[in-house]
Amino acid sequence: MRSAIIFGYYGNGNMGDEAILSSLLDQIKKNKKLKNYKITIASNDPEETIRLHFEDAQRLFGYTRLPLLLYKMIKEKPIIILGGGGILYGDSVQFYSLLAFLAKLLHLNFKIVSVSVGPYLSHSIVGFYRSDSKFFGINRFLVKFLFETANYASVRDELSRKILINSGVRRKVFLEKDLALSLKSVNKKYAKELLLTQIPKNLSRPYIGLNLRYIPDDRIRGDIISKISVIVHYIKRLKGNIIFLPMGNKDNSDGISNDASMYNLLKKEIKTNNLYLLRGKYHPKEMKGIYGQMDLVIGMRLHSVIFSYSKKIPVFAIAYESKVISFCSDKHIPFVDIYNIDEAKVINFVTKYLKH
């Protein structure tokens, strides 16, 4: 049986990346040439990935896993699919370049699908790329090799394409939308039932979805909590109820991988009875449906914005990285960045939709 191995940031409790994977799997199943392929997903938590996606999953990422990976590549001769999402940041290009080299050596089909790229490690630093950003040193050589080796290569935003050009990549790199945009959600009735298990059944509308991502910098994180507290109090005056919708939900984890840590900080900052946390584990199609139950959303993680936008829910973004700004600029979604949160702008947005 023919096979494919999919690499990405999977099995890390990140709802956006799981949504990308779910959409990619749906596309594979619809493809006449690929629908009967045996799929293996490279995952940091194979059991959770199997539970979510009903496909084989193994720990294949990292240099200690190379013997197993090389064995599978030689034995199965799979298609290697890299993507999508923000996985080609900083030193991650080194492992994926080795993967591309092995694929070329073994004459395997190697595809890069709808990724974002950047010269620093995305999840450890808060910052924004510019249109003249580029990779340096060995990573510049490797990212060029990686993309020019691929049988097919696409990125999900124009900024990533510019960074590749600045870094010396000369082959055609296609611009492809984030895969989560085309992910189908569960139906409205089921999404409502899921939501009502987490909030009082008689809770009045409007429902304002809120998503915040943990920021390591104490000063920036404190500023976010302080300014969101002002917005929460304003929403309470308008008789709105806020439902915190985590998009990072890694078990036994604090900080970056667990958005609920920001909910806990917010609850400590303010005493209010109009703030609720969506608890539990959800499939990306379920979470997208729940976002569709909101009247408006204030979102920080990229896929909280993407879920809202694709469900036609008014959304205001708090951008913590270039990928959020890039998407919002392209789709004409209002936003502020985390260094300059103007609560008045957010309040004006809330007022516009809640008072009309």
pLDDT tens, residue order, the chain (356 aa): 899 999 999 999 999 999 999 999 999 999 999 989 999 999 999 999 999 999 999 999 999 999 999 999 999 999 999 988 988 888 889 999 999 999 999 999 999 999 999 887 544 444 577 778 888 899 999 999 999 999 999 999 999 999 999 999 999 999 999 999 999 999 999 999 999 999 998 999 999 999 999 998 899 999 999 999 999 999 999 999 999 999 998 765 556 678 999 999 999 999 889 999 999 999 999 999 999 999 999 999 999 999 999 999 999 999 998 899 999 999 999 999 999 999 999 999 999 998 76
The CATH class given to the 3-182 domain equals alpha beta
The CATH number assigned to the domain with range 188-354 reads: 3.40.50.2000
The one-character DSSP state at 112 is E
Answer yes or no: are the C-beta atoms of 323 and 116 closer than 8 Å. Answer: yes
Tokens matching residue 124:
């450890």
Tokens matching residue 97:
């370049």
Q: Indicate the domain borders of the chain.
A: 3-182, 188-354
The span from the CA of 16 to the CA of 8, in Å, is: 11
Residue 206, preceding peptide bond in cis (omega within 30° of 0):
yes
The span from the CA of 298 to the CA of 282, in Å, is: 20
Same fold, 3-182 and 188-354: yes
Decide: helix, strand or coil at residue 4.
strand
Contacts of 214 (CB under 8 A, 6+ apart): 221, 248, 254, 255, 256, 258, 259, 261, 262
